[in-house]
């Protein structure tokens, strides 16, 4: 009996999203609505890029990978958060917690790298168009995407393995709606100052350096666009670049604030707000930004809708005459 009484649980307790919020049910339903819109929006964008031959180019191939990452990213957090809320069980196993950290970090870092590659694609297309087909061939694009996934997976694997092996000496309660590296570090009693410094260095490598490269690319792009003679080409280039910069600001802004702001400002409420924006709202906004401002995507959507309507009419007429 003594052995049974001394059984130690390895599960963590997720305290959830703003537990003191009085209208939490409404908030959860809104988040589920956002989740549904994000999944449908990104799935439609991937389907359009796959079906329409006009979108079979490097820019849209990279965009389809961004949508794939967004669907996976929002799916690592929202289903578990909603399940915990409606079931009343706030626990997550140690394996589940480690998996959530691994997948969210992999997807987040891969998205940083992918957005950098997308800015490089636009830079080559606008500033060096004659060599675009060589420098951004389908093979090179696939290698870039694989590199972004592998880079994200390796970096996240290192951080996850280190964090999950730390001994926990505080109550296993995480003041968050997901398992997250910085939240878990607060539960350990070991000296983690060296690791915290490594997190800052890692954040610099996967956040600030890509952001700097993106900004440098767009400075060169804007200088090239200013000297364009064609107003139509200038407007198309600016529209595409504006969409990409909107997505960059939506993603990199919260990421910089989460990992690089002073420790005194790292309160659980602020962290939850930033993660909710980054991991939940941004995946929903990305397909809206690209589809609403992108004439090629709108044209592809219209052509597919028209072709489906035409096929229905043909089937209807055949049915009438048989």
* Residue pair 263/247 in contact by the 8 Å Cβ criterion: no
pLDDT at 103 over 90: yes
Strands, sheet with 91-92, edge to edge from the N-terminal-most edge strand: 91-92, 12-14, 173-174
**Token pair of 236 as six digits:** 């198309």
Burial of 20 (0-12, 13-18, 19+ CB in 10 A): exposed
pLDDT at 309: 57
pLDDT at 1: 42
- Cα 197 to its chain centre, rounded Å, is 25
Q: What is the pLDDT of residues 18-66, one digit of tens each?
A: 766 677 888 889 999 999 999 999 998 898 888 887 888 888 899 899 9
> What does residue 314 show for φ and ψ, rounded to 5 degrees?
-60, -45
Provide the CATH topology of domain 12-320. Answer: Rhopdopsin 7-helix transmembrane proteins (1.20.1070)
Q: What is the pLDDT of residues 167-214, one digit of tens each?
A: 888 788 888 888 888 888 888 888 888 887 887 788 788 888 888 999
Write down the domain spans for the chain.
12-320
- Cα 4 to its chain centre, rounded Å, is 43
* Residue pair 74/279 in contact by the 8 Å Cβ criterion: yes
């Amino acid at each position: 009996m003594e052995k049974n009484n001394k059984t130690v649980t390895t599960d963590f307790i997720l305290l959830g999203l703003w537990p003191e919020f009085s209208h939490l049910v409404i908030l959860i339903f809104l988040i589920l609505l956002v989740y549904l819109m994000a999944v449908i929006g990104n799935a439609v964008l991937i389907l359009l890029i796959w079906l329409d031959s006009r979108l079979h180019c490097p820019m849209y191939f990279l965009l389809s990978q961004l949508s794939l990452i967004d669907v996976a990213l929002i799916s690592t957090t929202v289903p578990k958060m909603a399940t915990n809320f409606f079931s009343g069980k706030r626990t997550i196993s140690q394996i589940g917690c480690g998996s959530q950290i691994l997948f969210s970090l992999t997807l987040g870092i891969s998205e940083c790298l992918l957005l950098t590659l997308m800015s490089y694609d636009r830079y080559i297309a606008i500033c060096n168009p004659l060599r675009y087909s060589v420098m951004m061939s389908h093979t090179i694009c696939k290698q870039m995407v694989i590199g972004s996934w592998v880079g994200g997976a390796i970096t996240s694997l290192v951080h996850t393995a280190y964090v999950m092996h730390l001994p926990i000496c505080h109550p296993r309660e995480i003041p968050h709606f997901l398992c997250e590296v910085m939240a878990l570090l607060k539960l350990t009693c070991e000296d983690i100052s060296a690791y915290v410094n490594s997190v800052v260095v890692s954040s610099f490598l996967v956040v600030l350096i890509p952001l700097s490269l993106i900004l440098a690319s767009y400075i060169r792009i804007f200088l090239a666009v200013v000297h364009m003679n064609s107003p139509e080409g200038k407007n198309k280039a600016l529209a595409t670049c504006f969409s990409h910069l909107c997505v960059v600001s939506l993603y990199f802004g919260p990421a910089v604030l989460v990992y690089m702001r002073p420790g005194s400002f790292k309160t659980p409420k602020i962290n939850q707000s930033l993660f909710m924006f980054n991991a939940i709202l941004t995946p929903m906004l990305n397909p809206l930004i690209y589809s609403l401002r992108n004439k090629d995507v709108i044209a592809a959507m219209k052509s597919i809708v028209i072709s489906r309507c035409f096929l229905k009419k043909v089937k209807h007429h055949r049915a009438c005459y048989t």
